[in-house]
Chains A and B, each alone.
Chain A
Amino acid sequence: MAFEPDNSALMTAQRAGVAGAETLPPAARSGGAELTSRLLPPLFAVLSVVGVWWALYAIYPRLLPSPLSTVQEAIRLLSDGTFFFHMYQSLRRVFVGSVVAMLFSVGVGIYMGTVIMGERFFQPLVVLGLTIPGLMWALIAVMLFGINEFSPYFAVTVTIFPMLVINIWAGVKSLDKELMDMSHVFHFTKWMKISQVILPQLVPNIFAATRYGLGLAWKVVVVVEMFGTSNGVGYQVMKSYQVFNMEGVIAWTLTFVVAMIVIEYGIINCAERRLTAWRPKIDVWRR
């Protein structure tokens, strides 16, 4: 009699996922579910703000403009092209000032973290810089350089520079000594040490500093534009304020917030995900 293999036990085990039995890999999370889990929380956050605004408008209609009329004003700004021109001017000022500050702060932060004399020299200057409000720099910049493009660049750079340096300096202080030793043992050049060992370790600090720095840069640029330029979002907000156009002020603020969200989610988050792809995802609250 021929031997008939009985696979029923194996098949049952496979269905039940018993250890040792061949099983199919679990299905990956669908793209839709992933997108929903990513979009829903921030959407709820925005909706909750709009809800509070609407409630306040319902209670004090003379205090706040209605969300609807503000959105209509925002749509008008977008459709006639005013928004894009002025937003571009503000973005350019924020971008140039931030890039200059970032370049200097990476250099100074690494120098402070690695050379004791550098730390002793720059530390009091950085602490001093942190105590000076951005508004003061905005005023000083306009008084020093007048109404021109250099004022916002200067004000943004000097306002965010100390805060960026503090972050990068802290990051350099906590560099992994073992990796630095490894780079020395394998004869990495100075540039290899900076680009391959030091800067990648500073990525979380640089992103934290960029987020905070951009927020601060926007505030400074708006202030400078209010009294030191003839274009930009700050200038437009001031214009609306002078004719007591509340819808205009809030519409400009909203469009400005939308631009910030686009930068945060469209650029910074994407760059961060790309640069930290090497790190496995950690689920802290897993049970």
Chain B
Amino acid sequence: MAELVVKAAEKWFHREDGSPFKIIDRLSFEARAGCVTVLIGPSGCGKSTLLNSIVGLEKLDHGELLFVNNGRNQARPLIGYVFQSPRLLPWKTIGENIALALKGAAVARDGWSSRVEHYLKLVGLEEYVNQFPLYLSGGQRQRVGLARALAVESDVVLMDEPFASVDELTARQLRETTRRLCEQLHRTVLFVTHNLAEAAYMSDYVVTLTRRPARLDEYVTNPLPTPRRWGPEIYNFAAQLETKVTLKEE
């Protein structure tokens, strides 16, 4: 099981007039193996940029991203990613969308259908395998995105505000499903959110970031027991987190 170590990460962008600005500044933390590490910080502080750097969509200017497996560094493995919007190919069925991710992950073709079926069952959508995404609700599509990220069976899974675009009731169901699967499958999950109650519910560890440029503010261990249940203690912990982070715009 891999651990993700972010070491002195630094990232610069350029404004339209060409002047540079720093978005991530010497950020270091680790996402422990088999646990859910939640990243919270003000909007625009570079959380999504960090996730994009981890999967290779962006390149860090300085610093390192290490994937440590049994004490040894390894090259960047395949990483499961749950995007803010589901990003499913609308011309492919739900089953084909997941199967394409399996093909990209070089999974043998004869294992595709059983794996698609298994992960769709885990998110409660097994009967929609032959349905096109545009015929599903937003919450159902997000579940498919979750199933796809888990189906590639990578050690590391990134989730970038995965429930931000669905209504609160659906988001609550999705959180419960995701947390249950994280506890069940023991993947190393790095989860970005703005929602403190969500952070309290989903996390084993919480990394709070400062305003832009993002630096490590605090590394908090979630004291709540597992399996996690919604209750007043979630909101109490969320209130504690609120004292540690100021979620305001620059």
Judge whether A173 is part of the interface by a CB distance below 8 angstroms: no
Q: Are B87 and A179 in contact (CB under 8 A)?
A: yes
Q: A178-B83, A183-B104, A185-B55 are in contact. List 14 more A-B contacts (CB 8 A).
A: A178-B87, A181-B52, A182-B83, A182-B87, A184-B55, A186-B104, A186-B152, A188-B103, A189-B104, A200-B91, A203-B91, A278-B133, A279-B90, A279-B134
A177 to B187, CA, bound (A): 28
Query: Which of A179, A185, A276 interacts with B81 by CB under 8 Å?
Result: A185
- Given the known interface contacts A187-B104, A192-B100, the answer about A278 and B132 at a Cβ–Cβ threshold of 8 Å is yes
Residue of B nearest to A193 (CB): B104
Is B247's beta carbon under 8 Å from chain A? no
Cross-chain contact A179 with B104 (CB below 8 angstroms): no
Q: Is the CB of B91 within 8 A of A178?
A: no
Flag whether A12 is at the interface (Cβ < 8 A).
Answer: no
Contact of B89 among A179, A185, A203, A276 (CB under 8 A): A179
* CB within 8 Å of B: which A126-181 residues: 178-179, 181
Query: With A196-B89, A200-B91, A279-B90 known to touch, is A186 a contact of B101 (CB < 8 Å)?
Result: yes
Q: Which residues of B contact A277 (CB under 8 A)?
A: 132
* Assembly CA distance A179 to B81 (angstroms): 13
Question: How many residues of chain A have a CB within 8 Å of chain B?
Answer: 22
Give the residue among B57, B79, B87, B134 with the most A Cβ atoms within 10 A. Answer: B87
The yes or no answer to A280 lying at the interface (CB within 8 A) is: yes
CB distance from A194 to the nearest CB of B (A): 13
B76-95 interface (Cβ within 8 A of A): 78-79, 81, 83, 85, 87, 89-92
A100 touches B (CB below 8 Å): no
Q: Taking the complex as formed, is B105 at the interface, i.e. its CB lies under 8 A from any CB of chain A?
A: yes
Task: Tell me how far the C-beta of B239 lies from the nearest C-beta in chain A, rounded to whole angstroms.
Answer: 35
What distance in Å separates the Cβ of A210 from its nearest Cβ neighbour in chain B? 18
Q: Is A280 touching B135 in the complex (CB atoms < 8 A)?
A: yes
B104 near A278 with CB under 8 A, answer no
Contact B134 A186 (CB under 8 A): no
- B223 at the binding interface (Cβ < 8 Å): no
What is B's interface to A at a CB cutoff of 8 Å? Answer: 52, 55-57, 78-79, 81, 83, 85, 87, 89-92, 100-101, 103-106, 132-135, 148, 152
Please state if B101 and A278 are interface contacts (CB–CB under 8 Å).
no
CB pair A184–B87 under 8 Å, yes or no, is no
| A192 and B57 alpha carbons, distance in the complex (Å) | 18
Docked complex Cα distance between A197 and B52 (Å) = 20
Interface secondary structure of A, over-half rule: helix
Instruction: Please give me the residue from chain A that is nearest to B96 by CB atom.
Output: A196
Closest to B133 in A: A278
A-B contact pairs, 8 of them (CB 8 A): A178-B83, A179-B89, A184-B55, A184-B57, A186-B152, A192-B104, A203-B91, A276-B91
**B55 in contact with A192 (CB, 8 Å):** no
Contact A196 B134 (CB under 8 A): no
Contact A187 B134 (CB under 8 A): no
Q: Which listed residue, A181, A187, A278, touches B57 by the CB 8 Å rule? A: A181
User: Could you say which residues of chain B place their CB within 8 Å of the CB of A188?
Assistant: 100, 103-104
Residue of A whose beta carbon sits closest to that of B134? A280
Q: Given A186-B101, A192-B103, A197–B57 Cβ distance below 8 Å? A: no
Q: Known contacts A185-B55, A186-B105, A188-B100; is A278 also within 8 Å of B91 by CB?
A: yes
- In the A-B complex, list the 7 residue pairs whose CB atoms are closest, starting with the nearest: A187-B104, A182-B87, A278-B132, A186-B104, A186-B101, A278-B91, A200-B91
Q: Which residues of B contact A178 (CB under 8 A)?
A: 83, 85, 87
A278 neighbours in B (Cβ, 8 Å)? 90-92, 132-134
How far is it, in angstroms, between the C-alpha of A203 and the C-alpha of B91 when the chains are bound? Answer: 11
Contact status of A197 and B104, CB under 8 A, knowing A178-B83, A280-B134? no
Question: Closest Cβ of chain B: how far from A17's Cβ, in Å?
Answer: 23
Q: Report the Cα distance A129→B87, complex, angstroms.
A: 38
Assembly CA distance A185 to B79 (angstroms)? 7
